[in-house]
Amino acid sequence: MVNIKRTIIVLVSLGLAVATACTTVPITGRQQLSLVPPSTMLRMSYQQYDDFLKNNTLSADTAQTAIVKETGSRISRAVEQYFIRSGMRYELDNYDWEFNLIEEDTVNAWCMPGGKVAVYTGILPVTGDETGLAVVMGHEIGHAVAGHGGERMSHLLAVQLGGIALAVAMREEPAAAQGLWLTAYGLASQVGFILPYSRIQEYEADRLGLIFMAMAGYDPRHAVTLWKKMKAEKKGSAPPAFLSTHPTDDARIAEIERLLPEAMRYYREPTR
């Protein structure tokens, strides 16, 4: 009887949390579960990113590092411009952008809450040039702007810890809470392995990434070329880490082609 009563209480509490803890994804307008306050996400993100940098090697290639930082800076300025134009200037306080190139052969890149970005040297031969890099970085920054990490953390809290607040979980079950974060963001693995994003989240990141790279002056049409190159990269071998949790190549390319007319409305060729 006690266990049944406790289960009912947990389910009711979880139902109330789900009903009241929702946010809206920028641009797409999708409602998403959000059980973790932005301040908590940022605090944990900055701590984990610092830990990651201490345990990994930054690239010594100054030219490639400069390209990563320049590409990231252009896209981050586009994100900030979007927030200001959309009456969301308050969102600027939730970002402390940082872009680092990591010496690692894995074909991968990721962005944590608050704009903490890591690009692995292994992905640069695939991206080829700055515009190809902008496709990848725009996509990963799109995940962060859409709050997909927080959404995934919220679902993990709901399923594994009964929907209690992350702050409570960190106080009462710190090991479990830390494990959820590492699972959600993949920092327990040197190659950045993460739980799969849902297909909806992947397509949202594509859409936001296309728009942000276009606003930054990168031609979004290059995304089709890049993803076809990514598809070829997988032939005859295990998929790169960057692609291992993504939708099928043909489906993604078709969706990007569908999204291009919208993205092109934001694109202006940069003046030389």
Residues known to be catalytic: 140
Cβ–Cβ contacts within 10 Å for residue 124, how many?
Answer: 21
Rounded CA separation 155/151 (Å): 6
3-class DSSP assignment, residue 156? helix
Which run of H or of E encompasses 140? helix 130-145
212, containing H or E segment: helix 199-215
Q: Are 220 and 226 in contact (CB under 8 A)?
A: no
Please tell me the number of Cα atoms within 13 Å of 162 on its side-chain side.
12
Give the separation between CA 194 and CA 62, rounded to whole angstroms. Answer: 28
**SS3 labels along 235-259:** CCCCCCCCCCCCCCHHHHHHHHHHH
Find the distance separating the first CA and the last CA of the chain, reported in whole Å: 74
| Whole-number Å distance between alpha carbons of 85 and 88 | 7
Query: Which of 176, 120, 186, 119 has its CA nearest to residue 152?
Result: 186
Question: Which of 25-39 are b and which e, b meaning 16 or more Cβ less than 10 Å from the residue's Cβ?
Answer: bbbeeeebbbbbebe
Cα 120 to chain centroid distance, Å, stands at 15
